[in-house]
Structure 1
Amino acid sequence: MTLPHARTLNALGLLGCCAILLVAFGYQVLLGELPCPLCLLQRAAFAASGVGFALGVRFGPRPSHYGIAILGALAGAAIAARQIALHVVPGTGGYGATLFGLHFYTLALIAFVVLIGAVAVLLLIVDTDQPATLAGPGAGLFGTAGLLLFLGIILANAVSTAAECGTGLCPDDPTRYEALDAWLKR
């Protein structure tokens, strides 16, 4: 596989992470679904996996980049499984809204498992030994757009997390942007 094709596949993986983060952020901003601490950690894990893809887009495919994506997905899967375990007990109910009849943490676990599988396929089909500097241009327009979108989403999530939690612990069942409210009351 050529380096431009590999970068395109990495850009598609990055856009997949962006799409997941955008949907979660959309529910937060448009529907008032504030994320709990475990939800925020899952978003961070999607961001970590996205960093692995972003490195692949920018610098070409490397096993270390795919390792970052897999480690982020493994951490996210563990966090999502923990949240599922918290809500699987009869009478506890789920947390937050649903999409396609499943709670976001259940969909996150599925997405993390799919992400791990996709990276495994990339490791099998992409020539990670090809020097990126000799193989042609950088990320290209598609890759650069994906990188910029990813950076924007990460920044927006960081700002909203700071507004929700401030410098302290995030509330277990958030109902408002505590740090933002405290700042506005000054």
Structure 2
Amino acid sequence: MANYTSIQAHPWSRPLNCLALAGLCAVLLFAFAWQILFSEPPCPLCLLQRAAFAMAGVGLLLNIRFGASPLHYGIVILSALGGMFVAGRQILLHIAPNDAGFGSPFLGLHFYTWAFIAFAALIVFCSVVLTFERFTGHDTRQSRSGFAVALVMWLFLVLSAANALSTTLECGFGPCPDDPTGYLWLSPGSGTK
């Protein structure tokens, strides 16, 4: 039997991870709804940010399903760092004066700026939660998931699958267009300007 270090979970660890995963679901759902309602397909950097949100969600999902672990928090933090890097690059691409940025702004900021803030919040969240966890031997106790927890986990999985399908419809199996205007597989020839 493998002996490795895990975390003696704080009683609030699971609900906090569930709340953070619900927040990620809200981010993915909002971006996906905006994409459909306002006909604004995401650019390649936006898709990478969504992938980073999905990977961070996997870490939170693992914490909820299998118990808190430094590995799971590491997945969230590394995914958020990757997402911050991509969002930061996109911010710097549009930092020049009179640059309108990519896509429509929401509450005065573009989605990539909001993504940068959300990734930073995820890192702060993990840092704060980890300060209250205690490292001990492996804890095999598992509690059953309530309806709300199961609903959040399934919502995350459905949103991740929907975003993956949307990306495939937009880009096919090749590189995504830099400035997408449509979906390659839904209407051939409309994927680029």
Q: State the TM-score, normalizing by the size of structure 2.
A: 0.88
1:157 and 2:163 aligned: yes
Task: Find the counterpart in structure 1 of residue 21 from structure 2.
Answer: 14
User: What is residue 100 of structure 1 aligned with on the other side?
Assistant: 107
Is it true that 1:111 corresponds to 2:121 in the alignment? no
Q: Any idea what SS the aligned residue of 2:176 has?
A: coil
Counterpart in the other structure of 2:33: 26
Answer yes or no: is the 8 Å Cα contact 2:9–2:68 preserved in 1.
no
Root-mean-square deviation (Å) = 1.8
Query: What is the letter of the counterpart of residue 144 of structure 1?
Result: A
Kindly state the Cα deviation for residue 5 of structure 1 after the two structures are TM-superposed: 2.6
Question: How many angstroms does 1:98 deviate by?
Answer: 1.1
CA shift in 2, pair 1:8/1:93, >3 Å: same
Deviation at 1:131, TM superposition (A): 4.4
- Contact persistence 1:7–1:143 (CA under 8 A): no
More helix by percentage: 1
Q: Does 1:72 align with 2:79?
A: yes
Which amino acid letter does the alignment assign opposite residue 64 of structure 1? L
Aligned-residue offset at 1:91: 3.5
CA distance in 1, matches of 2:15, 2:118: 20
User: Percent identity between the aligned chains?
Assistant: 50
The TM-score normalised by the length of structure 1 is 0.91
Counterpart residue number, 1:56: 63
Amino acid at match of 2:102: Y
Please give the alpha-carbon distance, in whole angstroms, between the structure 2 residues aligned to 1:172 and 1:90: 21
2:45 and 2:172 mapped to 1: Cα distance? Answer: 16
**Structure 1 position 89, deviation (Å):** 1.5
Find out whether 1:140 has 2:146 as its counterpart. yes
Deviation at 1:181, TM superposition (A): 1.7
Distance 1:123 1:167 in 2: 39
Q: Which residue of 1 aligns with 2:3?
A: none
Conserved 8 A contact 1:7-1:139: no
Q: Which runs of 5 or more structure 2 residues have no equivalent in the other structure?
A: 1-7
The answer to whether 1:170 aligns with 2:183 is no
Unaligned runs of 5+ in 1: none
Secondary structure of the corresponding residue to residue 100 of structure 1: coil
